[in-house]
Amino acid sequence: MDPIYFTTPIYYVNAEPHIGHLYTTALCDMLKRASRLAGRDVYFQTGTDEHGEKIVKSAAKEGIGPKAFADRISQKFKDAWDEIHIDYDDFIRTTDPRHTRYVQQILQQVHDAGDIYFDEYTGRYCVGCERYLTDSELVDGKCPDHQTAPVEVKESNYFFRMGKYQQALIDHIEKNPGWIRPERFRNEVLSFLKNPLEDLCISRPKTRLEWGIELPFDNRYVTYVWFDALLNYVSGLVETSKGDNVFDRWWTSCNHIIAKDILKTHAIYWPTILMSAGLPLFAQLDVHGYWMMGESKMSKSLGNVIRPGAVHRTFGIENLRYFLFKEMKFGADAGFTWDLFIERYNSDLANGLGNLLSRNAGLVARCFGATPAPQPLSEAERPMAEKCADIAASYVSLMESRQFSKVMDDIMALVSMADKYMTREEPWKLAKDESRRADLARVLRCGLEVVRFSAILLSPAMPEKCATILRYLGETRPLNGTVPLCELTRFDGLLPGVPMEKPPAFFPRMDPALIEEAAAAQTAETPAAQEAPRTLKPRKDEITIEDFAKVELKAGRVVEAGPVAGADKLVRLLVDLGEEKPRQIFAGIKAAYGDPSVLVGKTLMVVANLKPRQMKFGLSEGMVCAASGDGRLVAVTFDGDVKPGDHVG
């Protein structure tokens, strides 16, 4: 297998680490451990971004210099990652001399190539974003992320000829459809690139900002923070913290893991900078969604973040890691509440894996004192052995396609299968019958095999907890690729004769009362919000569950789609709802689909019990559900294996 290089964004040090940072970093940590488990060479870099106006302002509020402020917050990130066992290979800071040297080298190189020029510019500047915003990016005249009006700035600066590389970037994206994942973010970038790409302002005059990397060709200016920060992905390889140059080994396998709010900088700014510098492009850009608290994105500026330290001390960080990977479908937003976290933990880990382990290990300790020897499998055990083989066979591909939630679902389905097996076999009754001692040993060993198998594949998500379980079961082989994954996950892999005492509570049930304790710890760690939260639109009148039950929603597969002559907004659809024949539905979604035939084969959400409506174009026998945005309606589609006529609710 080819080597792979994972990166997180480098985190801005204007505030301490929170759960958004934790999620991205833990994802990279899990990917590193999973890749290594599968026998792949891996390198993982993270770090902190320490220049720019926000750092100067944050430092000034505390009455210290920006370097002292950056030193303190950067150390908090390192301490947080060390405390929760993030296994990074290098931690880079943009104030490191090695990074400064490389940024100035690239700036000079790009300048000498004629891709940097000097000009006067007037634009709307957002201090929170530390960049100029276009009119199209503003919402009601304000930055949508910070809810503040940008400042009109007129000044002379240096510009990078980003537009020069627009077509080359479009060509690369179109020739490499999997370069940006998930696909909807690739489409978003291509949509943005349909308009002329403006050149990028890459300097700030020292009369306005001194805290930054000085331009090598004009000491009156410092580098724009994004041009500086993005180069960390290469500067950390050109000169590691150990002084090595490992660029040739790792760069072309680089896989960036980012949140969707920095898609534009990573999918447009960064590749065009690399093109200008004559460097190969990275291998992959994987984009995840937001963690939402209620209807708002978790954000330090909104004051609704969760600090890793508070979680670790109250709940255990690895339990949270499991929840995050299980609940978020990669690329989509996901909601977080403490109630949901505790419910998931208790159902999957306490009542699921933990209960399976304690029930089997407790009986083994009492009846045998050591793990039983292997025996031929009966018909009752073979489905579990086959399920393990299937999960192990798909594990690597699911991780590589970022289907983390599916991995967790598969493992918990196996645990549920084993639990039902135990209920059928009733080992607690077998333990009372000396004549069935061999059957008891076989059943208990099978249950422990499922636990061992699950702990191996869950170890990238919960490394310390799973290592403790595996040691208890006598599984001491390293999970670093030196032992093939197929060997580790064989169903007869449990070592016999391992002394076994009554097991500790690996996953004790959580009391919802812990939420108050977590909230108190969180309040102590989280400063008050500095910016006003976004204004939410008032809800429409609430309905009851009885009201909702009147609406029959079904999945419908489009078998035919076309324009409607004389109608500006309508398309005509024939939709299969699992009935005797398809229904004709007229839908006002033409603006989103220039060629309606692209809808053929898609499965849409349809209101199936809407009274048919006679229109001048024909009878419409239902309504397609659609989301509105940008003045157009986009049909709601399904992402899983859904059959025509399946009910939605």
pLDDT digit string, tens, across residues 168-188: 999 999 999 999 999 999 999
Q: Which of 17, 222, 245 is nearest to 104 (CA)?
A: 222
How far, in Å, CA of 634 to CA of 522, rounded? Answer: 39
Catalytic one of 21, 99, 256, 312: 21
Report the 10 Å Cβ neighbour count for 420: 11
388 is catalytic: no
Mean pLDDT of 364-380: 93
Mean pLDDT of 257-265: 95
Question: For residue 312, what pLDDT band results from cuts at 50, 70 and 90?
Answer: low
How far, in Å, CA of 399 to CA of 330, rounded? Answer: 11
Flag whether pLDDT at 529 surpasses 60. Answer: no
How many residues in total does the chain contain? 649
Choice among 4-8, 122-126, 401-405, 536-540 with the minimum mean pLDDT? 536-540
CATH 2.40.50.140 fits 545-648, yes or no: yes
CB contact at 8 A, 52 and 226: no
Flag whether pLDDT at 299 surpasses 80. Answer: no
Mean pLDDT of 361-377: 94
Residue whose pair of structure tokens reads 């304690």 in the numeric block: 358
Catalytic one of 32, 51, 146, 329: 146
How far is C-alpha 301 from the chain's CA centre? 21
Mean pLDDT of 46-63: 93
Query: Tell me, what's the pLDDT at 519?
Result: 55
112 vs 311, which has greater pLDDT? 112
Query: Tell me, what's the pLDDT at 631?
Result: 54
Question: For residue 518, what pLDDT band results from cuts at 50, 70 and 90?
Answer: low
CATH numeric code, 291-534: 1.10.730.10
Burial class (CB in 10 A: 0-12, 13-18, 19+), 97: exposed
328-354 pLDDT per residue, tens: 999 999 888 888 989 999 999 999 999
Mean pLDDT of 440-456: 97
Query: Tell me, what's the pLDDT at 246?
Result: 97
Q: E strands, 102-249, where?
A: 116-126, 131-133, 151-160, 180-181, 200-201, 203-205, 214-215, 218-223
CB contact at 8 A, 190 and 173: yes
Query: Tell me, what's the pLDDT at 256?
Result: 98
110-134 pLDDT per residue, tens: 999 999 999 987 778 787 776 777 7
Element (H, E) at 516: helix 514-525
Query: Tell me, what's the pLDDT at 301?
Result: 47
Query: Tell me, what's the pLDDT at 39?
Result: 95
Catalytic one of 28, 129, 201, 446: 129
CB contact at 8 A, 337 and 345: no
Query: Tell me, what's the pLDDT at 536?
Result: 30
Burial class (CB in 10 A: 0-12, 13-18, 19+), 85: middle
Residue whose pair of structure tokens reads 């299937």 in the numeric block: 390
Flag whether pLDDT at 293 surpasses 80. Answer: no
Residue whose pair of structure tokens reads 């945005």 in the numeric block: 629
625 is catalytic: no
Flag whether pLDDT at 535 surpasses 60. Answer: no
Catalytic one of 300, 329, 387, 465: 300
Flag whether pLDDT at 588 surpasses 70. Answer: yes
* Four-residue CA torsion sign, 59, 63, 69, 75: negative
Q: What is the value of pTM for the model shown? A: 0.77
How far, in Å, CA of 582 to CA of 577, rounded? Answer: 7
Query: Tell me, what's the pLDDT at 533?
Result: 31
How far, in Å, CA of 215 to CA of 222, rounded? Answer: 5
18 is catalytic: yes
Every domain of the chain and the residues it spans: 4-288, 291-534, 545-648
User: β-pairing, 571-576 with 613-615?
Assistant: unpaired
Q: Is 631 left (phi over 0), alpha (psi -120 to 50) or beta?
A: left
55-104 pLDDT per residue, tens: 999 999 999 999 999 999 999 999 999 888 899 999 999 999 999 999 99
How far, in Å, CA of 588 to CA of 571, rounded? Answer: 6
21 is catalytic: yes
Query: Tell me, what's the pLDDT at 373?
Result: 94
Which one is the CATH code of 4-288: 3.40.50.620, 3.40.50.720, 3.30.450.40, 3.90.1170.50? Answer: 3.40.50.620
146 is catalytic: yes
Question: For residue 291, what pLDDT band results from cuts at 50, 70 and 90?
Answer: confident
Query: Tell me, what's the pLDDT at 525?
Result: 47
Choice among 513-527, 588-602, 614-628 with the minimum mean pLDDT? 513-527
Phi and psi (nearest 5°) for 425?
A: -80, -25
297 is catalytic: yes
- Cα first-last separation, the chain: 43
Question: For residue 496, what pLDDT band results from cuts at 50, 70 and 90?
Answer: very high
Task: Give 231's DSSP letter.
Answer: T
Catalytic one of 18, 111, 260, 312: 18
Tokens representing residue 521 in the block: 């710890």
Report the 10 Å Cβ neighbour count for 36: 20
Flag whether pLDDT at 547 surpasses 60. Answer: yes
Question: For residue 531, what pLDDT band results from cuts at 50, 70 and 90?
Answer: very low
Tokens representing residue 52 in the block: 């720019």
Phi and psi (nearest 5°) for 275?
A: -60, -45
CB contact at 8 A, 46 and 294: no
Mean pLDDT of 617-631: 80
Mean pLDDT of 462-469: 96
Catalytic one of 99, 266, 297, 554: 297
Give the Å distances, CA to CA, from 14 to 53, 143, 541.
10, 19, 41
How far is C-alpha 377 from the chain's CA centre? 39
Choice among 192-196, 419-423, 564-568 with the minimum mean pLDDT? 564-568
512 vs 321, which has greater pLDDT? 321
511 vs 445, which has greater pLDDT? 445
Contacts with 327 (C-beta within 8 Å, 6 or more apart), sequence order: 334, 336, 340, 344, 405
- Please report, as a single letter, which amino acid is at residue 560: E
- Please report, as a single letter, which amino acid is at residue 209: L
Mean pLDDT of 537-557: 71
Question: For residue 439, what pLDDT band results from cuts at 50, 70 and 90?
Answer: very high
- Sheet with 296-297, edge to edge strand ranges: 296-297, 291-293, 334-335
Query: Tell me, what's the pLDDT at 305?
Result: 57
Mean pLDDT, all residues of the chain:
88
What angle in degrees, to the nearest 10, is found between the helix axes of 382-400 and 404-425? 170
Flag whether pLDDT at 279 surpasses 60. Answer: yes
How far, in Å, CA of 626 to CA of 584, rounded? Answer: 17
| Percent of the chain scoring above 70 in pLDDT | 90
Tokens representing residue 595 in the block: 């060629």
Catalytic one of 28, 99, 143, 256: 143
According to DSSP, the residues that pair with 553 across neighbouring strands are 607, 648
CB contact at 8 A, 469 and 357: yes
Residue whose pair of structure tokens reads 């805290």 in the numeric block: 211
Contacts with 541 (C-beta within 8 Å, 6 or more apart), sequence order: none
Question: For residue 292, what pLDDT band results from cuts at 50, 70 and 90?
Answer: confident
Mean pLDDT of 475-504: 94
Choice among 326-340, 384-398, 546-560, 599-613 with the minimum mean pLDDT? 546-560
CB contact at 8 A, 472 and 503: yes
Catalytic one of 99, 111, 126, 266: 126
184-241 pLDDT per residue, tens: 999 999 999 999 999 999 999 999 999 999 999 999 999 999 999 999 999 999 999 9
How far, in Å, CA of 97 to CA of 109, rounded? Answer: 18
| Percent of the chain scoring above 90 in pLDDT | 66
